[in-house]
Amino acid sequence: MGSSFGTGFRVSTFGESHGVGVGAIVDGCPAQVEVSLEAIQAQADRRKPGQSDLTTQRMEADKVEILSGVQHGKTLGTPIGLLVKNYDQRPGDYGEVLDAPRPSHADFTYLKKYGVKAKSGGGRASARETAARVAAGALAEQYLQQLCGIEIVAWVNSVGAIGSDVDVNSVTRADVDTRAVRCPDPAAADAMEARIREVRDEGDSIGGTLMCVCRNVPAGWGEPIFDKAEALLAQAMLSIPACKAFEIGSGFAGTELRGSQHNDPFTGGATELGTSTNNSGGVQGGITNGMPIVFRVAFKPPATISRPQETVDYEGNAVTLQVTQGRHDPCVVPRAVPIVEAMAALVLADLARQV
């Protein structure tokens, strides 16, 4: 339960942080889609740990292997198996967390639900699971590109209270990747990178937000009522570990406007209407309107910090928890960029299969 996403284009993931590996089964990808393993690997590389001094120093090659469903570079229409093996697992690093649940991590809740927990680390709750989603999402993206030229770009919009100014219409992945923090606004990126190093050196962590734009999505995709396109996007984004909020279009800021300021006037001819503004974020009534889909997601400061924390152990005894050995991200947003893109691609691929 809970490890599958989508209906027409369905992905199921498996694997734990410190086990043999993680992977995905993709069911429902049409036949004859050209598959570039290099493009899948490129997205996996943007997610993998140890990319820069801003991320965890766990070293993983995160090499994606295609096990089934692809022949001579094209999908067969049968289930596609994707595998990412773990090499740098160090279960011993988590000695301290065996006795006390980490505050704001998933140790306590997993134990409550299953009565047992993975021998170390976050198990399924670890961001390691997202390596599988990124591989599946990169595949979904190739299907969407070939279907109608869909383009998905996410970037870091803020770290702590440091915001940025980025043109949502023109930003590219190459722009985003010019900086380790993955914010294409150079002045903001300088400040964000300095802030992440500062909290890291203090044994602490910090949160941030991402923006994402999906371009060339045709009008008319999505189901009304419970499966509205924005509802599926919200579910997809909030399923990412540490994601705490989702907003589409004007989001919370729209609540401060009047309808006369907020409405998106229609423009264009009878065959192809557009809108002159995009406060709706590309979706109206749960159905895409042909404008770019624009949304923002928020990530909390990661829970595992090396500063001592006053808490209690599993028996309720007061303890000072200090995680000194594990390797952790001081801020998840730079690595969350390809994960958000992958989840957006999985939602759109699922919508595409339902049109």
Ligand X SMILES: Cc1cc2nc3c(=O)[nH]c(=O)nc-3n(C[C@H](O)[C@H](O)[C@H](O)COP(=O)(O)O)c2cc1C
Three-state secondary-structure class, residue 25: strand
User: How remote is the C-alpha of 87 from its chain's centroid?
Assistant: 22
What is the maximum alpha-carbon separation in the chain?
70
Determine if 75 is a binding residue for ligand X (CB under 6 A).
Answer: no
Look-up: residue for tokens 């889909």? Answer: 293
Determine if 242 is a binding residue for ligand X (CB under 6 A).
Answer: yes
Here the tokens at position 23 are 């992977």
Determine if 105 is a binding residue for ligand X (CB under 6 A).
Answer: yes
Choose the stretch contacting ligand X; rule: CB under 6 A; options: 219-227, 266-274, 287-295, 328-336: 328-336
Pick between residue 152 and residue 303 the one whose CB is nearest to ligand X.
303
**How far apart (Å, rounded) are the C-alpha atoms in residues 30 and 79?**
10
**Element containing residue 245 per DSSP (H, E):** strand 243-248
Determine if 137 is a binding residue for ligand X (CB under 6 A).
Answer: no
Determine if 247 is a binding residue for ligand X (CB under 6 A).
Answer: no
Give ∠ CA 238-333-296 in degrees, rounded to 5.
50
Determine if 304 is a binding residue for ligand X (CB under 6 A).
Answer: yes
**How far apart (Å, rounded) are the C-alpha atoms in residues 136 and 343?**
9
Q: Phi/psi at 283 (nearest 5 deg)?
A: -135, 130
Q: How many residues bind ligand X (CB under 6 A)?
A: 21
Tell me how far, at minimum, the Cβ of 303 lies from ligand X, in Å: 4
Q: Which of residues 162-221 bind ligand X (CB under 6 A)?
A: none
Tell me how far, at minimum, the Cβ of 57 lies from ligand X, in Å: 10
Determine if 56 is a binding residue for ligand X (CB under 6 A).
Answer: yes
Tell me how far, at minimum, the Cβ of 333 lies from ligand X, in Å: 8
Tell me how far, at minimum, the Cβ of 339 lies from ligand X, in Å: 6
Tell me how far, at minimum, the Cβ of 321 lies from ligand X, in Å: 12
Are 48 and 135 in contact by the 8 Å Cβ rule? The answer is no
Determine if 126 is a binding residue for ligand X (CB under 6 A).
Answer: yes
Select the residue interacting with ligand X from 302, 341, 351, 352 (CB under 6 A). Answer: 302
Alpha helix (H) residue ranges in 105-221:
107-114, 130-148, 173-176, 186-201
**How far apart (Å, rounded) are the C-alpha atoms in residues 97 and 115?**
16
Cβ-based neighbours of 51, under 8 Å, separated by 6 or more:
45, 180, 334, 335
**How far apart (Å, rounded) are the C-alpha atoms in residues 214 and 65?**
27
Pick between residue 184 and residue 302 the one whose CB is nearest to ligand X.
302
Select the residue interacting with ligand X from 29, 33, 84, 125 (CB under 6 A). Answer: 125
**How far apart (Å, rounded) are the C-alpha atoms in residues 207 and 229?**
26
Tell me how far, at minimum, the Cβ of 166 lies from ligand X, in Å: 20
Q: Which of residues 281-300 bind ligand X (CB under 6 A)?
A: 300
Select the residue interacting with ligand X from 16, 329, 341, 350 (CB under 6 A). Answer: 329
Nearest CA to 18 among 155, 154, 129? 129
Determine if 303 is a binding residue for ligand X (CB under 6 A).
Answer: yes
Choose the stretch contacting ligand X; rule: CB under 6 A; options: 18-26, 177-185, 239-247, 281-289: 239-247
Select the residue interacting with ligand X from 232, 328, 337, 346 (CB under 6 A). Answer: 328
Tell me how far, at minimum, the Cβ of 76 lies from ligand X, in Å: 32
**How far apart (Å, rounded) are the C-alpha atoms in residues 151 and 213?**
8
Summarize as ranges the residues that interact with ligand X (CB under 6 A): 56, 105-106, 122, 125-127, 130, 240-242, 300, 302-304, 328-329, 332, 335-336, 339
